[in-house]
Amino acid sequence: MAKNVAVIGDSESIKGFGTIGLDIFPCDSTEEVAHLFRRIADSDNYAVIYLTEEVFNLVEKERSRYESRLTPAVIPIPGVKGNTNIGISRLSSFVEKAVGSDIIFND
């Protein structure tokens, strides 16, 4: 049963996650990130995979394979280059699907 949490992103953005016990996978190469994501997601060792927003965008095709599965949960997080609001947009979309209205982020 998957219990671990992985964090994938550029080394500067994710190095702090290792200090709190999460498994970090620095990947500064855009060519290797898709392979790394698939390897971690297919390993069945991780219940949650955090991706920096930059990586989240780079592995869009690969992420689609896991959207219908319960695990791993794939969650975008901001990196050191800034926040693109991908995580907030996704959360808002999930809430809207669940309750029929954007009750959290409605302006």
How many structural domains compose the chain? 1
| Tokens representing residue 27 in the block | 């990947």
Helix or strand (DSSP H, E) at 93: helix 86-99
- Give the CATH number for residue 66: 3.40.50.10580
Mean pLDDT of 39-63: 93
Residue 104 — pLDDT band, cuts 50, 70, 90?
Answer: low
Does residue 10 belong to any structural domain of this protein? Answer: yes
Indicate whether 99 belongs to any domain: no
* Residue 98 forms part of a structural domain: no
- Domain containing 29 equals 4-82
Measure the N-to-C terminal CA separation of the chain; round to a whole number of Å: 41
* Number of C-beta neighbours around residue 99 at 10 A: 10
Whether 94 maps to a domain, the answer reads: no
Q: Which residues contact 51 (CB under 8 A, 6 or more apart)?
A: 7, 8, 9, 37, 59, 74, 75, 76, 77
Domain membership flag for residue 53: yes
Q: pLDDT of 5-49, one tens digit each?
A: 999 999 999 999 999 999 999 998 888 999 999 999 999 899 999
Q: What's the rounded mean pLDDT across residues 51-72?
A: 90
| Residue 104 is assigned to a structural domain of this protein | no
